[in-house]
Structure 1
Amino acid sequence: MDFSRARRTFLFAAAGGWSRAADRSSAPSEQQRLRDPATEFEVIRLTDPSRHTAVFPAAPLRAVARNNTLIYCSDRSGSMQVWRMDLKSGESRQLTDVSSLNPSCVSLTQNERSLCYVDGERLVVQSGTRIQAPYAVETGWQAAGGFALSDDGLTASLVEKRNERFRLRLLAVRTGGGARTIYEADQPVRFCRFRPKRSSLLYNYNGVLTLVNFDGRGSRRLAITGSAGFALWSADGRAVQYLSIPEGRASIQLREHLPETGEDQLIGGTTQFVSF
């Protein structure tokens, strides 16, 4: 698969963008100001959990837009769909009408002109009223999470499962762009992280962090401390911050690793972190 060619021929930045998609349904504000009992800070509850389930895309998936709106998933319409919330008014509008949305696999592109998500066994890209499915999982395999999107919105990752076998695929986010398997084993992939400003991907399987190039070459395990939990890249892509989980989980550590030098240092200890 020629990812450089995919970069040059990317066509999903349709005029109007995702924010002008035809609205299928709307919901009034559910915002409420509350006092956090742990910190005594004032917080704003955006959705009402007594009315419906709401899921916010986890970092580093992009969900907050520069026009003071955000996207999230909700089942208030009877099935899980993507909604857009105006943070000023609190009003939400439904953006999708699909049958099998995976709420953990939803993201805006970096330029905020397109919405990407996994519906059943297909990757969908939605720009305004234009909807395309550039990739469908092969028969016999099932989409199994691991969705991530590169900074330029041209490449996505997706984990697939067949029986007890797992594989990690890199997808060109354009129709006919192709896909490449860069990992396949009997160990599931917990998450994927595209490295900022570089054509490489970090993924976690069984607590091991592995860095690999888009072409599948240069794969190497990072010499981290303990077993890795949640992890995120620094904005410049030089360092990865991760949770180090020792045997027995006695004291979880937040650590930083520099892939180029192998330096691994403690940021701080904690017993509470599960993500950051």
Structure 2
Amino acid sequence: MRLNPRYLVVFCVVAELRSLSRAAEVLNLSQPAVSKTLKALEDAVRQPLYQRTSQGIALTEAGKALLPYACAVNRSLAHALRFIEERRRRRVLRLEVGLSWSLIPRYQNTLLAWASSPEARCEFQLTNGTTLELLEKVYQRDIALALVLGGTDDLPEPLMAHRISSDEMVLLVAPDHPWAQLGGVALGQLEGMPILVPQRNSRLRLRLEQFLERYGIVPSRLVECGSLYGVKTAAAAGLGVGLSSRSFAEPEVSAGLLRALWVEDAGFTLGVHWISYPEASLDHATREQLGHLWRYLNPP
């Protein structure tokens, strides 16, 4: 059976956006053309792949099973088109680096300073995300490198992790919070307290939940704030005790807007890791630029 790869590309975009109209805009197609393409794909599979709901497009079981393969085709075609375009235009190397949200205050300016230096003979792009999101991007070769907090648990082969520094998990409170004058607190003091946390796939949140479960500590609730920026805002407003890395909260702590408390239990320090493919699997230009960046971040 011959299958037009374009069918899978359209299906992937529709599934990700959960909307035929939005997918049509992204793909620069008419909505009837998108619907016709999906119908052709369903005819080929001989099963319905999606259904319309009040919240948008919902995939059937067959659609969910097909989606990873469709998105893999979409990524491969995107990479091929980018490769062809760069070769045709003889563009310089495009180096995309991922940086965990929690490490932005600590490393963003350093990375951008390197990108402006004579050593950076590339088109540099910085992208942010959670540790888990960035690991997936490196694995799929969407980015060449990720600087992440933690990230070595179950690292997929053949990715490699090099520890370049460490950062401490801290609790954030407003200056008028009862704990504000304490240097640190025991983990058990979180019993019955509301804790402000970032999104579910945050490495900081996952580590905190592991410790709470291990020691049987039950907070009154975990208040999901969407991101570490949301955690800082909510903690400064006195809405609870926030979870953060020390470096991420440093600007607000230095300005007196927040107090950072260290936790008097082992295990609240996470490594900052450089995640990439082994050098042998990288092309010469990428390997050379990553070498320059490594030496810039780790001077003798």
Q: Smaller-chain TM-score range?
A: under 0.3
Of structures 1 and 2, the larger Rg is shown by 2
Higher strand share goes to which structure? 1
TM-score normalised by L of structure 1: 0.26
Structure-2-length-normalised TM-score: 0.25
